Amino acid sequence: MIPVRGVEDRRIAVLGLGRTGLSAARAIMAGGGVALCWDDAEAARERAAGEGLTLHDLGRGGAWEAVDALIVSPGIPHLYPAPNRYVAAAQAAGVPVDNDIGLFFRSLAVPEWDRFETVPRVIAVTGSNGKSTTSALIHHCLEVAGRESQLAGNIGRGVLDINPPGDGGIVVLELSSYQTELARSLTPDIAVFTNLTPDHLDRHGGFGGYFAAKRRLFAEGGPDRAVIGVDEPEGRLLAGQLSEGAGDDRVIRISSGQKLGGAGWNVFVRKGFLAEFRKSRQVASIDLRAVRGLPGAHNHQNACAAFAALRALGLAPKLIEQGFQSFEGLPHRSQIVGEKGGVTFVNDSKATNVDSAAKALAAFSGVRWIVGGQMKDGGLSAVAPHLGNVSKAYAIGRQAAEVALELNEMAGRSLCEVCETMAEAVGRAGAEALAGETVLLAPAAASFDQYDNFEKRGEDFVSEVARVLQKGGPDDPGGEMKDA
């Protein structure tokens, strides 16, 4: 645990008692503060009370008297589309609002670091797509290299639940826009911006607000090194704003589809080969085509981001390549879960928006595509350039008929059939797939019409794939099921 610093004898309200809120409350108490906890859900309050935490109804009269700060969980809005009523009350009372990320950054460094040979460092990764895989890949490569590393934030453990890092330790954080937009303290040593595509626009008051939330990690965080994906205009703008000139190697530009020139520090992938250039000279390269855990252009972008961050730490390219080769990917993110008769089954349930799904489709050919769920605004037009990779689509979820109609009209042929359930879709796709094809779950939609979250959806896919693999006939030895 990271005890929160500067809260001795202060009364800190904690709103939202899920993983993040409970972790923050414990860390506040460990730092000598008084945690005043509240959640509208009775079950969450009972869980907190069972831990011995103090409940404090933030809706009653006088609730904000003598409260020094409010800590909110990521899912609680503070501005758009409208402030949460408790947050609005705190703001009206002049109570500062922060989150666990802000507490973490102000509490991590301790006087004991003066005795360390190498001060611990923090790598913070943000962006629309790929930040989980990038963060996990950085962490994996550090472990392969024998370096102390902890993975936390929007992936793995809560930031305040990690152990205090030791001499030379590295903390790798995945940070969402919900986390970066509100943290009052942001001081990463290395900050990574993967890419930017429209998402969470209601929460941020539009695309500009969404970009601004991501940009705070760099503009206010002031990292020693910034790794910036420049395949979108926002990334190019951000890289230019952070750089003092073309040769400024404090900014490392990355791309998954274009050769980057100039005198600066660049990492890019072309035709499956990752290249690192410094001062216009190539200094390293990795063949990513055979790296099974990183298929497709979107994962090659993740590889560029991870490689650049690790090089900024001083890791040798050969050590990084070893980490890449042994990386198996994350559950629900282009995760190979089984093979049978030359057919590969891939779980990309995390592809909850159309841009993510388009990138998944681009990574494979001969795709039996399982698509649908709680669809987002804008439709499926972004996948149109990749429909040539799709042998057939199988629509699931409450909007399955609408999804099938849109895809059939877009393709100009009968491409998609309505299945509604995961069991029906996987069963049909598995039965119809030919050797060399891929059965891909990349829903391009949220999961909440049928599942609690995308993880549950992915687990259902894995379970149904297992059924398909076990159906082998007398001459069929069955399939191989990968670890889910």
Whole-angstrom Cα distance, residue 179 to residue 75? Answer: 9
235 known member of a binding site: no
259 known member of a binding site: no
Whole-angstrom Cα distance, residue 201 to residue 210? Answer: 6
376 known member of a binding site: no
- Give DSSP secondary structure letters for 340-381: ETTEEEEE-TT--SHHHHHHHHHT-SSEEEEE-SBPPTTTTG
130 known member of a binding site: yes
Helix axes 100-107 and 19-30, enclosed angle (nearest 10): 40
- Give DSSP secondary structure letters for 299-332: HHHHHHHHHHHHHHHT--HHHHHHHHHH---BTT
b/e sequence 339-376, b meaning 16+ C-beta within 10 Å: bbbebbbbbbbbbbbbbbbbbbbbbbebbbbbbbbbbb
How far are the Cα atoms of 2, 148, 319 from residue 164, in angstroms, in the given order?
Answer: 6, 11, 26
| Peptide bond preceding 81 in cis form (omega within 30 of 0) | yes
The two three-digit tokens of residue 401, written as one number: 């008929």
3-class secondary structure per residue, 249-281 = CCEEEEECCCCCCCCCEEEEEECCEEEEEECCE
How far are the Cα atoms of 4, 13, 30, 345, 367 from residue 50, in angstroms, in the given order?
Answer: 22, 18, 17, 43, 49
Whole-angstrom Cα distance, residue 380 to residue 232? Answer: 20
128 known member of a binding site: yes
Interacting residues of 64 by C-beta distance below 8 A, sequence separation 6+: 13, 58, 89, 90, 93, 95
The two three-digit tokens of residue 297, written as one number: 């252009």
In 31-160, which residue ranges form alpha helices assigned H by DSSP?
42-50, 85-92, 100-107, 131-144
How far are the Cα atoms of 92, 323, 427, 477, 484 from residue 329, in angstroms, in the given order?
Answer: 46, 11, 25, 27, 10
Strand partners, 125: 174, 192
Give the residue ranges of the annotated binding site. 127-133
Could you tell me which residues are annotated as the binding site for ATP? 127-133
